[in-house]
Amino acid sequence: MKATFDGSTIRTGREGRPLYEQSGYGRPEGDGLRLSPQEALYLLHRQKIEVPGYSFDTLFAEFSDQPTVMRSFLVYRDLRERGYVVQTGPHDFRVFRRGEKPGKGESLYLVRVLSERDPILFERLIEEVIASRNMRKQYILAVVDDEQELTYYEIKLQKLADASCTPPDLTPVDAMLTGKSAMVRTTADSSLEKAGFGKRLDPERLMLAPVELLYLMDRGTIRLIRGDAGMSFAEYLALASESDSELTLKHTVYTELRRHGFTPRTGYKFGHHFRVYCGTSVHSDLLVHAVEKEAAIPMSVISRSVRMAHSVKKKMLFGAVHSSGIQFVEFARIKL
């Protein structure tokens, strides 16, 4: 069937209405349909429509001034060929359940299309996930790499449940500042070690990392000694932050994880701030990285994080810190 292109929009006449009624293409407009660039290109590529004066190549060139048209078309085509009905909006695409279409079913996914070099803007991402959740849809990122391969990620905002085990009560102790860490003289059965704090230096001494020390000082469990005098929380934070600009962020996320009964330990070997134990298992359950809510992280960095977490059978969460609290954002690869 024939369609017309007026330089900005593709339209069909009355004969195009079955495309919408049977397969969910386009939007009804007058007696015919108005097609999005992705729909028109896909239908032209599949030889379901003709656009007089244009081939697939030349029509693609007409839309090439839109920088996202290539990757949007690739995602649209992939979803269609997986058996989904796809329409534009409210993000990039809304995707209906298989076998359903506009007017005869509900959309299941809201899809945002990115390239591998696009940044993840956490504030915007969180807003879009909340909007999707309010509409009872799953929020999906469709990422197109430089070789036109597609990867889909499901994004969830996780509300942390309390851990299944109760940590022991902590006995207040003194600690001696040693560099940016602290040393506590304590036996191997101390409440600190049972609660997952510190690393044993020898049978008599336990070393506390800066983020652990800040948490314990904030709770009043540790009194930090420097030389012959005590050291306040603010003084120690200023000292330790000289060599770790992310320490305040990490302390905020660490405190929230501890508040839920989890045991965070350094995640350095996995390339992240924390590996997190949620119960009594000897294996950690989560990888967590603290970020500012206003942070922008390249999608390529997110991809590496998710693959690492998947390879060691853990969930990947980013703790986005803002003035009203922390939003934990989970990224997970998904097969549609």
Cα separation, 165 vs 270, whole angstroms: 25
Strand 173-178 to 222-226 pairing: parallel
Q: Measure the CA–CA gap between 278 and 163, rounded to whole angstroms.
A: 5
Measured from the Cβ of residue 242, the count of other Cβ atoms closer than 10 Å reads 9
**4 Cβ neighbours under 8 A, 6+ residues apart:** 10, 11, 12, 51, 52
> What SS3 class is residue 313?
coil
Q: How far apart are CA 303 and CA 95, in angstroms?
A: 23
Burial of 155 (0-12, 13-18, 19+ CB in 10 A): buried
Instruction: Select which of 272, 289, 314, 315 is catalytic.
Output: 314
Q: Residue 260 catalytic?
A: no
Collapse the DSSP code of 238 into the 3-class scheme (helix H, G, I; strand E, B; otherwise coil) and give the result: helix
Q: Respond yes or no: is residue 283 known to be catalytic.
A: yes
Residue 1 near residue 22, CB atoms below 8 Å: no
Closest CA to 28 of 108, 103, 135: 103
Distance CA 156, CA 84 (A): 22
b/e map of 268-280 (b: 16 or more CB within 10 Å)?
eebebbbbbbbee
Question: Which is catalytic among the residues 277, 289, 293, 315?
Answer: 277
Is 91 catalytic? The answer is no
Residue with tokens 């024939």: 2
**DSSP per position, 70-127:** HHHHHHHHHHHHTT--EEE-SSSEEEEPTT-BTTBS-EEEEEEEEETTSEEEHHHHHH
Give the catalytic positions in this structure.
277, 283, 314
